[in-house]
Structure 1
Amino acid sequence: MSDGSYEYEVGIDSRLRDIDFMGHVNNAIYATFLEEARQGYFTDVIGVSLVDVGTVLANLEIDYVRPIEADSDITVAVRVPELGTSSLPMEYEIRADGERAATARTVQVLIDRETERSQPIPSEWRTRITAAGD
Structure 2
Amino acid sequence: MTPRTYTHDIEVQFRDLDTRSHVNHVVYASYFERGKERLFEEVLDTSLSSAPTVVRSLDVEYVAPIEPDATVTAALGPVETGETSLTIEYELVTEDDTVATGRTVSVYLDDDGQPTPLPDAWRDALAPYCADEAD
TM over 0.5: yes
More strand by share: 2
Aligned to 1:118: 115
In the alignment, the residues of structure 1 paired with residue 29 and residue 100 of structure 2 have an alpha-carbon distance, to the nearest angstrom, of: 11
Aligned to 2:72: 74
Q: Cα–Cα, structure 1 residues 78 and 58, in superposed 2: closer, same or farther, change >3 Å?
A: same
Could you tell me how far apart the structure 2 residues matched to 1:18 and 1:125 are?
Answer: 32
**What's the TM-score once normalised by structure 2's chain length?**
0.89
Superposed, 1:24-103 pairs within 5 Å as 24-103=22-101
Percentage of identical aligned residues: 34
Aligned-residue CA RMSD (Å): 1.4
**Could you tell me how far apart the structure 2 residues matched to 1:39 and 1:75 are?**
14
1:1-59 CA-partner distances (Å, limit 9, x unpaired): xxx56510001122111111211100010111111011111111122111222100000
Aligned length: 130
Can you give the 5+ residue segments of structure 2 that lack an aligned partner in the other structure? none
Q: Can you list the C-alpha shifts for 1:99-121, whole angstroms capped at 9, x where unaligned?
A: 10000000010001x31101111
Q: Distance in 2 between matches of 1:105 and 1:28?
A: 14
Contact 2:64 2:99 in 1 (8 A): yes
**Larger relative contact order (Cα-Cα within 8 Å, sequence gap ≥ 6):** 2
Contact residue 80 and residue 88 of structure 1 kept, 8 A: no
SS in 2 for 1:28: helix
TM-score normalised to structure 1 length:
0.90
**Cα-to-partner distance string for 1:86-133 (whole Å, 9 max, x where unaligned):** 100000001112210000000010001x31101111111111101345
SS of equivalent to 1:42: helix
